[in-house]
Structure 1
Amino acid sequence: MVAYRGKRALDLSIAVPAVALSAPLQAITALVVWARMGRPVLFRQQRPGLHGEPFEMVKFRTMKAPSPERGLIHDADRLTPLGSFLRSTSLDELPTLWNVVGGTMSLVGPRPLLMSYLDRYTPAQARRHEVRPGLTGLAQVNGRNSITWEEKFARDIEYVDNHSLVGDLKIVALTARQVLRRDGISAEDSVTMPEFIGGTA
């Protein structure tokens, strides 16, 4: 699936001003993360991008480092109160705007998941990589982390097959409303989403 003409222009027209306007907030957030959790301030991780090619996604750190000796194994144990606040307000996502500016991500598209998931997708689910991953997407404005993996992937493929300029603008607007309402931050009985084991459809 080829992205519609003007998608990159839309990304830059929103992401570049957003980076500039949010710079003071990003600086304050970085200082708070450093003061409360120490270094590193940023969380960097390889994620699959367009056609599954890896890129480095950047966010503000929200979790303590894994430490079995200290009982810090599961996400629920590692997520800090500050991290929970950053996630609920989506402030942790602000550095990801640089991925959009750099072209490894788009404003709207399927959210980039883990590299380890690549060989777990069905052929249909793997189609989510036919477009650049997004900072937000159709799944995010239709339940975010409160919906199942199957529902999430169905929304991703729906986006791949039907994305458009008007659709992207609508998703951006709905995302802004969802961030303000803090909807769908986590799945039931999980601080984020449970691990994706593998697809069956």
Structure 2
Amino acid sequence: MKDRFHVTAKHPSFTLLALALLLAGCASTRTAYQPPDATVPAAWEQQQAATAATAQIPEQWWRQFGDPALTQVVETARARNNDLAAAALRVRQAQLQAGIAATALAPTVAGRLSNSASRRLEGGDGNATARSSGASLSASYEVDLWGRVASTRDAAEWTARATTEDREAAAQALAGTAAGLYWQLANLNQRTASSNDSLA
């Protein structure tokens, strides 16, 4: 142990030389990164097909099954659901707000007509009836210099559209839930009937 330690301490240059050669070998093996060639299409090939498939789905899709009982279940759920009714009220409110915001861009015109008659209570020939009539017309318009009124109208219209889409999404989700429960119940009834037939 002493002789080995003495040799290592006496010749430290060998260790440094081996370390330098090792680092030089690692550095010489380094090459620049070459990305692999990949063929990428210019557009998504399935985009047109997906769009066409989505466009073919009818709004009242449950009627396509030709099941009167399913149609009655889904439409009854849509007609009696309180959340859906509240969503319809929000749609109407948003539409009215959009209409009010749109009228702010147009001039406001106001007209007034008046007619009056007066007569003194004392008798005499001088107590003739006095009549007076008048008319007035006024118009006002807010100049939208910075686009505030137009932006308010656009925001109200987009809110009305978004509220309509939310209501339609809720209606479709409700229809899907009602149809799913209907099919689950029909499946259970069919399995029960099959079990009864096998036991008979």
Same fold (TM over 0.5): no
When normalised by structure 1's length, the TM-score is 0.21
More helix by share: 2
Give the structure-2-normalised TM-score.
Answer: 0.21
